[in-house]
Amino acid sequence: MSEKGHTEYKHAHDHKDIDVFVKKENVAEVVIILLQEGFQKVWTRYDHLPSEENFRRYEKTVELENDKFHRITIDFFEKDDLETVEANGFTVVKPDILLSFYRNIHSSDKCWAVMAAKDLLQKGINPVGSPLLSKMPT
């Protein structure tokens, strides 16, 4: 949702991840693709919590050219009825719906981008593309 070309800071998180929302009818196909691409299911502290989204995490580690390793994390949510919007050339979950996930199954509620987006929504302002989402608090 952040503005295009923003600086990505690692803060209030133990990792950067990719959130993927999949319709129930496509779950098996997506899991097969993830496994074929070398991703493995990773258990998290959220797996035992009741959730309508059926949260899963998949990860793999890749070696870069300079003999360094990088972990790719995909947080996988099973959800059929999501409203989406276009943001920076991507189809993303509508901001108010996406931000509702941060209360119960995601640990990003201390992220300043999440807090800024929630504040903007409370003021009736669409947070998509707002520079406030990538502005470090002072």
pLDDT digits (tens, 9 = 90+) for 25-46: 999 999 999 999 999 999 887 7
75 — pLDDT class (breaks 50, 70, 90): confident
DSSP annotation of 66 reads T
Residue 18 and residue 67 in one domain? yes
Q: Which of 42-46, 80-84, 102-106 has the lowest mean pLDDT?
A: 102-106
Residue that finishes a domain, picked among 79, 103, 124: 79
Asked if residue 53 has pLDDT above 90, the reply is: no
Residue 74 and residue 90 in one domain? no
Q: What is the mean pLDDT of residues 72-89?
A: 84
Whether 5 is in a domain gets the answer no
Q: Please say whether the dihedral angle defined by the alpha carbons of residues 41, 22, 30 and 38, taken in this order, is positive or negative.
A: negative
Residue that finishes a domain, picked among 79, 95, 121: 79
Residue 19 and residue 53 in one domain? yes
Please answer whether residues 65 and 96 qualify as being in contact, where contact means their C-beta atoms are separated by less than 8 angstroms: no
Distance in angstroms (rounded) separating the CA atoms of residues 96 and 120: 10
State which residues form the domain around 29.
14-79
What total number of domains does the chain contain?
2
Cβ–Cβ contacts within 10 Å for residue 114, how many?
Answer: 20
Residue 63 and residue 86 in one domain? no
Residue 66 and residue 99 in one domain? no
- What type of residue is 108? S
Higher pLDDT, 85 or 138: 85
CA max distance for the chain: 47
Q: Among all chains, which residue has been given the structure tokens 């300043």?
A: 112
Spatial neighbors of 106 by CB under 8 A, at least 6 apart, are 46, 75
- The CA-atom distances, in angstroms, between 74 and each of 60, 80, 127 are 9, 18, 23
pLDDT number for residue 106: 53
Alpha carbon 129 to chain centroid, angstroms: 16
Residue 94 and residue 130 in one domain? yes
Distance in angstroms (rounded) separating the CA atoms of residues 131 and 109: 19
Q: What is the mean pLDDT of residues 34-63?
A: 85
